[in-house]
Amino acid sequence: MVAGEVVKKELDRELGIGEALTISGRVSVARMVSPQPPTVPFSPSQLASLDEALTLASRLTGLDFSVYLGGLGEDSRATAESLHAQIGPRASDAVLIAVSPGARVLEVVTGEESSRRISDRSCKLAVMSMVASFKEGDLSGGLVSALRMLSDQAGPAPKH
């Protein structure tokens, strides 16, 4: 073999469907795109309105609103509070809405600063509004209206 000579690599198997042997010897494979199943049963417009409600509520109040959708286990309150603790240093300002549609339970958890801004009574009011919507099967609508109610209760961010 001479230095600089191109070595052709022979393929030791048959080319499958969508495969092609390129000039350099590399096998180029085209794979079928399989559509991913939806991760949540929400339409894109519902997701967009939820995102807008979360962002607006957090920007207006200076609190960190977040929404958790998933299983909460046997003791839903303890799970929701441990989720709230996972937020870290900003947990004091955080308001967590944890919803378990499988167990039909929802929890609103406020931190030290956010509980000062949003009373438990206001949280209860938002919970009742969400329950009314969730009973009708409207998860995203209930979350959006609850975020609006909570941000109205908290009021604008204090200016120091």
Residue numbers at the binding site for another protein (CB under 8 A) = 38-43, 50-51, 54-59, 62, 64-71, 76-77, 80-94, 100-112, 114-115, 118-120, 123-124, 126-128, 130-131, 134-137, 139
Which residue lies nearer to another protein by CB, 8 or 160? 160
Cβ at position 31, least distance to another protein in Å: 24
Closest contact distance (angstroms) between CB of 142 and another protein is: 10
**Cβ–Cβ under 8 Å, residues 134 and 106:** yes
The least distance separating another protein from the CB of residue 110, rounded to whole angstroms, comes to: 5
State whether residue 26 is helix, strand or coil: coil
Write the CB contacts of 133 (distance below 8 Å, at least 6 apart in sequence).
139, 141, 142, 145
Min dist CB 32 to another protein, Å, is 21
- Of 9 and 75, nearer to another protein (C-beta) is 75
Q: What φ, ψ does residue 73 adopt, rounded to 5°?
A: 75, -165
Query: What's the start-to-end Cα distance of the chain, in Å?
Result: 78
- Two tokens, residue 138: 């409207």
Outline where the chain has alpha helix (H).
44-61, 76-85, 112-117, 120-135, 139-154
Is 19 or 81 the residue whose CB approaches another protein more closely?
A: 81
Q: How far is the CB of 38 from another protein (least distance, A)?
A: 6
Q: Which is nearer to another protein, 28 or 43 (CB)?
A: 43
Q: Give yes or no for a contact between 42 and 50, defined as CB atoms under 8 angstroms apart.
A: yes
Amino acid at 36: Q
Compare residues 31 and 121 and give the one whose CB is closer to another protein: 121
